[in-house]
Chain A
C-alpha cells in the first residue's frame, strides 16, 4: 500500500477540466483587460513605440479641453441614457410583470412571448427599424400622430440635437423592456400564493398587498435589474452607431462612452485613433462600471438576506 501522506499524485484531471477553458478565458478576457489597464498608463509615439506616461492620459481626458469636453459630454449623455432606462424601462417592466402575474390570467404566455420578442433581435436591426419608422420621409409616425390629433408635435426627433439622445434611449427601452419584465415576473411567481392569500385575509387591498408584501420581496430582483441595466447602458454602442454613426451626431449630442471609446481607439474621419488613449477611455469605463457594481453590492446584496423566503 502506498502511503497517502507521501503526497497525492498530481491532479491531472483537474488540469484537464480547467485547462482549455481557462486558457481561453485568461488569454482573451482577463489578460486583455489587465493589459488595457496597463496600456492606459503609456504613451504611443508616432513610430509605434510605447513609453510610460504615468497619469498623463487621464489628466488629458479629464482636464484638457480637447479631450475632456467630449469625455464629459459622453459621460453625461450616458447618465441621461441610463436614467431614462431606470425611469421608463424598469417601471414599465415592473407594471407588465405585475399584470402578467395576475392570477388566472388567460393568454399570459402569449403576451409574455410577444412582448419579449424585440429583445431577441439585434440592436442593429431595431435601430434601422425605428430609423425608418421615425423618418419624416416615410411618414408613418407623422401619420399616426396626425390620426391622434398630435401632428403639431411631430418632429424629426432623431435629427435634432435636443431630442436625439432621448429618442435613442426610448428606442432602447422599447427593445429591452422584456428583460426587467421577465426577471421581475419570475420573482413574482416565486412568491408563494399563501402569502397573497394571507394578506387578503388580513384585509389588505391590492395596492397595500403590492406595496407592503410583494414589492419588498422583489426588491432584490429590482436591484439586480438595475445593475444589469447600468452595465448594459455604460457598455452600449450599437444603437448609436447604427442610427447616428460613429460621430454620434448631431453635434455629438448622442455620444456615449461606447462610441467615444470606438472613436478614440480607431479614429474617425479627422481624428486619429490612439491605442493608449483608447485604453484610457476603456479604463475609465471600467472604473465607472466597477463603481456601479460596488454600490450595488453594498446597498443591495448585503440586504438580500433579509428578504429570503
Chain B
C-alpha cells in the first residue's frame, strides 16, 4: 500500500520559510491535485515528497514508512517534470531504461518492462529516436513512460501538460486519467489548469502562501469553499464578490444589504453572526441569469461582452462601481452599454466573514457521497 502521509511538514530556504506546516493524508490509489497561485510552494512540496529537497521539520511517510532522509530512488516514487527532463543524448529506449539500468536490473527484464510501458503509451515505434526528434506530446509520453517502468508507488507530476498546445492538452489529460485507473497508483499532480484539476482529481488541495487552504473533492471545493481564497480560486471566471451588511439574522438564513443597495437572503449557518457585521457575499458567474423574474435581481451596466460561442461572458458594473462577471447563453443579444437586470437564486450565494472564512451553506450543493461523485465525474469527462 502506498498511503502518503505528511505531518506538519515545514520547509525553509535559508531564512525564508516557504512551507509553514503542511498536513496531508493521501490514500493509496488516490489522484490528488495541488493547485494554488504561482510561488505558493507547490513545486517545493512535490520536491520534498520526491526527496529532491530535505524537509526542514515534520515527518513524511510513504506506505507507512518514514522517509525523511531516504534517497529519492529508494522512496518508490517517480516524477514527471514540467520540461520533461529527457536525457537529450539518449534514445527513447535508453531514457526509459536508465533508471532500471543504474539500479542494476538485468537486460532482459529492462527490455521487457520498457517495451511493455511503451506499448501502454503507444510509443513503441519511437524507441530508437532521440528526444529532439519527437513532438511535444510524444516527449510527454516518454517522460511518463520513464516513470512507469520504475513501477513506483507514487507518481509525482509537476505541471506536466503546461508545455502542450490546447488540443493535445485535452487529449493527454484524458489519457492520464485512464492511465491512473489502469495503474491504480497514487498520483500527486500539480497544475494551474482548473479543468485539469476538476476532472482528474479525486481530491484537490488548494494551497496559498505555503499553507493548505482547503482540501477536498472537486465538488466540495466548488460548492463549499471554506475561504474567500478558495472561492475565488476554484471556478472560472472567478466568483463575484460583493460587500454586504447583515441586516437580519434567522436560524437558517441571513438578510444582507449589498453595497449597491440590493437586499438578498443568504442561506448559511448564521451562528456567530451579529447584526451590522460587514461580510462578503459571493455568487458565481454561472449562477447569474438575465432572467429578471429571479428571486433577487441586481441592476447593472454592461461594460464588455466576450462571446465564446456556447456561452457569453458579460462584464458588469453595479451602481456603486462593484465589478461583476456573468455567464450567459451564447445566444444572448445584450450589448455593451446596456442596462440589464441580473437575477440569481439566493440559495446559490456564499457568505464570508470579515476574516475571509466561509459560513456553512445550508441549502445548496450538499456534499455528495463518493459514489455520486464518481457518477458526476464520469459524466463530466464524457
Of the residues A200, A203, A212, A217, contact of B103 by C-beta under 8 Å: A203
Query: Which residues of chain B have C-beta atoms less than 8 A from A194's C-beta?
Result: 81-83, 85
**B72 A212 Cβ-Cβ under 8 A:** no
Interface of A (DSSP majority class): helix
A152 on interface, CB distance cutoff 8 Å? no
A201 touches B78 (CB 8 A): yes
Interface assignment of B265: CB less than 8 Å from any CB of chain A: no
B88 touches A208 (CB 8 A): no
A159 within 8 A of B: no
Give Cα A216 to B98, complex, Å. 14
Write the nearest CB–CB distance from A283 to chain B, whole angstroms.
Answer: 39
Verify A201–B73 contact, CB threshold 8 A: yes
Instruction: Determine whether the beta carbon of B102 is less than 8 Å from that of A198.
Output: no
A197 at the interface (CB under 8 A from B): yes
Q: Are B88 and A309 closer than 8 Å at their CB atoms?
A: yes
Cα–Cα, bound, A133→B86 (Å): 50
A308 to B132: give the CA distance in the assembly, Å.
8
Do residues A203 and B88 form an inter-chain contact, with CB atoms below 8 A? Answer: no
Considering only residues 74-96 of chain B, those with a C-beta below 8 Å from chain A are: 74, 77-79, 81-83, 85-89
Contact-residue size bin, chain A (C-beta under 8 Å from the other chain): 20 to 34
A-B interface pairs (CB < 8 A), number: 68
CB-based contact A201/B83 at 8 Å: no
Contact B87 A195 (CB under 8 A): yes
Are A202 and B52 in contact (CB-based, < 8 A)?
no
Contact A192 B89 (CB under 8 A): no
Contacts of A306 in B (CB 8 A): 89, 130
Residue of B nearest to A213 (CB): B87
Q: Is the CB of A197 within 8 A of B88?
A: no
Closest chain A residue, CB of each to CB of B143 = A198
Q: Name the residue among A194, A197, A202, A216 with the largest chain B CB count within 10 angstroms.
A: A202
The answer to whether the Cβ of A298 comes within 8 Å of any Cβ in the partner chain is no
* Complex contact B85–A200 (CB within 8 A): no
- For B47, list chain A residues within 8 Å (CB): 197
Chain B residues closer than 8 Å to A204, beta-carbon distance? 73, 98-99, 102
A201 touches which of B72, B86, B89 (Cβ 8 Å): B72
A203 touching B102 by the CB < 8 A rule?
yes
Asked if A242 is an interface residue, CB under 8 A from chain B, the answer is no
Q: Chain B residues near A198 (CB, 8 Å)?
A: 79, 81, 85-87, 146
- The reply on B150 being an interface residue by CB < 8 A is yes
Give Cα distance in the complex from A215 to B334, angstroms.
64
Name the interface residues of A177-214: CB closer than 8 Å to any CB of B.
192, 194-195, 197-205, 208, 212-213
Complex interface: chain A residues within 8 A of B253 (CB): none
Instruction: Find out whether the CB atom of A202 lies under 8 angstroms from the CB atom of B102.
Output: yes
The answer, yes or no, to whether A153 is at the interface (CB within 8 Å) is no
Identify the closest chain B residue to A203 (Cβ): B73
Question: How far apart are B310's CB and chain A's nearest CB, in angstroms?
Answer: 38
A207 — nearest CB in chain B belongs to which residue?
B102
Interface set, chain B 143-193, CB cutoff 8 A to A: 146, 150
Q: Is B50 close to A, CB under 8 A? A: yes
> In the complex, A195 Cα to B88 Cα: how many Å?
9
Q: How far is the CA of A195 from the CA of B90 in the complex (A)?
A: 12
Asked if A197 meets B81 with Cβ closer than 8 Å, knowing A202-B146, A216-B89, A309-B88, the reply is yes
Chain B 32-49 near chain A by CB (<8 Å), digits 1 or 0: 000000000000000100
Contact between B83 and A199 (Cβ–Cβ < 8 Å)? no
As a 0/1 sequence over residues 56 to 80 of chain B, the CB contacts with chain A under 8 angstroms (1 = contact) are 0000000000000001111001110
- State whether A212 and B88 are in contact (beta carbons under 8 Å apart), knowing that A197-B79, A200-B52, A308-B132 are contacts in the complex: no
Closest Cβ–Cβ distance, residue A83 to chain B (whole Å): 28
**Which residues of A, 283-309, contact B by the 8 Å Cβ criterion?**
306-309
Smallest CB-CB separation from B14: which chain A residue?
A: A104
Contacts A200-B73, A201-B50; is A212 near B98 (CB within 8 Å)? yes
Contacts of A200 in B (CB 8 A): 52, 71-73
Task: Indicate the member of B85, B130, B132 with the most A CB atoms within 10 Å.
Answer: B85
Also in contact, A308 and B85, with CB within 8 A (given A199-B98, A202-B150, A203-B103): no
Interface residue from A199, A203, A205, A307 paired with B89 (Cβ < 8 Å): A307
- Taken together as a complex, chains A and B put the C-alpha atoms of A306 and B130 apart, in Å, by 8
Residues of A contacting B85 in the complex (Cβ-Cβ under 8 angstroms) = 192, 194-195, 197-198
Task: Enumerate 5 A-B pairs (CB-CB under 8 Å) in ascending A order.
Answer: A197-B52, A197-B85, A198-B81, A200-B73, A203-B150
Q: What is A's interface to B at a CB cutoff of 8 Å? A: 192, 194-195, 197-205, 208, 212-213, 216-217, 306-309
Residues of B within 8 A of A (CB): 47, 50, 52, 71-74, 77-79, 81-83, 85-89, 98-99, 102-103, 130, 132, 146, 150
Given contacts A199-B87, A203-B99, A212-B98, 12 further A-B pairs with CB under 8 A are A192-B83, A198-B81, A200-B71, A201-B50, A201-B77, A201-B78, A203-B71, A203-B150, A204-B73, A217-B89, A308-B88, A308-B132
